Amino acid sequence: MEKVGIPKGLFYYYYKDLWKYFFEYLDISCIYSEKTNKKLLEEGSFYASDEMCISMKCYLGHIASLKGKVDTILVPRIDNYGMREQTCTNFLSCVDLVSNLFPFKVLYYNIDLENKKGEEKAFISLSKFINRSKRECKKAYQIAKIKEKKLHKSEYLKELTKLKSDKIKILIISHPYNTYDAYFGKTILSLFEKYPVELIYADKLQPDDMRKHSYLLSKELYWKYSRELIGAISYTKDCIDGILFLSSFPCGLDSLVNELVLRRITIPSLQLILDDMDAKAGFETRIESFMDILEGREIYENR
């Protein structure tokens, strides 16, 4: 195998660094899909069902954009990281979905800790697809994991520094595949550039600490990524001035979790639902109003 296609959606924003270092060590080239754009999203919508969230439609668009560029696509199957560490059902179904919709060979691994299928074992299992030994894959994973942890630690320390800023601090509660997507999250977050704010990204804080802090808002949640995000609210509550929730339409998990959280916090917040990015003016107006509230509150508290 010489090339592996990697769609820049869903899983990519959680595992891109681990994948990059893993395949680099094994001397396997990765071909990435292009940045999200309207045409790509429309193609993804063609393959998707109406009930799928906009992020899933986007992911299918990234898969489709790799047709003719690679024969093999990396699509993991991720069920859970333990009993109270479940993921969205999309993360479980993507392998079967892609296998049935597209003419690619699917390179996949399974993560299901409830059945003793951990991350390291999952990466070692790739040996059966990529003409590398289990020993090579194990070594590649271990080295990649060390590099990933080092990189993520530096990102975490950067967020801690932001929390000490004198600017208005806004915590971003959003799944990475929404936050850092060029067409969705980055477009919206760029609207804050004209304001004196510091954006704190919940997903860059330490996951283990965030899961512990999530219990202060809810003891019942068992979705891994949702817990890590809302835990950041408890962790940063004494430092931040506002919270921005970015969710894709119609995400079942976010609609439930965000509503639960909004009922239990007093920090000023704004919830934006990602769907039709042609309505950018609407986002701009709501962000402007949100900033008026935060700036007015800061003036009042500093009197």
pLDDT interval class at 201 (50, 70, 90):
very high
Name the percent of the chain lying above pLDDT 90.
79
Calculate mean pLDDT across residues 233-258.
Answer: 92
Name the percent of the chain lying above pLDDT 70.
96
pLDDT at position 303 = 40
Calculate mean pLDDT across residues 136-161.
Answer: 96
pLDDT interval class at 203 (50, 70, 90):
very high
CA 59-120-34 angle, to 5 degrees, is 25
pLDDT tens track for 1-35: 578 999 999 999 999 999 999 999 999 999 999 99
pLDDT at position 220 = 84
Show the tokens assigned to 300.
């009042």
Report the chain's mean pLDDT, rounded to a whole number: 92
pLDDT tens track for 254-295: 888 888 898 999 999 999 999 866 667 789 999 999 999 998
pLDDT interval class at 104 (50, 70, 90):
very high
CA distance 250 to 224: 19
pTM of the model: 0.93
pLDDT at position 7 = 97
Neighbours of 210 (CB within 10 A): 22
pLDDT tens track for 158-179: 999 999 999 999 999 999 999 9
Q: Angle 224-236/207-214 helices, nearest 10 degrees? A: 80
| Confidence check: pLDDT of 46 > 60 | yes
Domains of the chain in sequence order: 3-149 (3.40.50), 163-301 (3.40.50)
| Confidence check: pLDDT of 187 > 90 | yes
Burial (CB count within 10 angstroms: exposed 0-12, middle 13-18, buried 19+), residue 11:
buried
pLDDT at position 302 = 53
Calculate mean pLDDT across residues 137-166.
Answer: 96
pLDDT interval class at 300 (50, 70, 90):
very low
Beta strands in the chain (DSSP E): 3-6, 29-32, 72-74, 77-80, 105-107, 110-112, 168-174, 197-201, 242-248, 269-274
pLDDT at position 90 = 82
Neighbours of 228 (CB within 10 A): 22
CA distance 176 to 219: 23
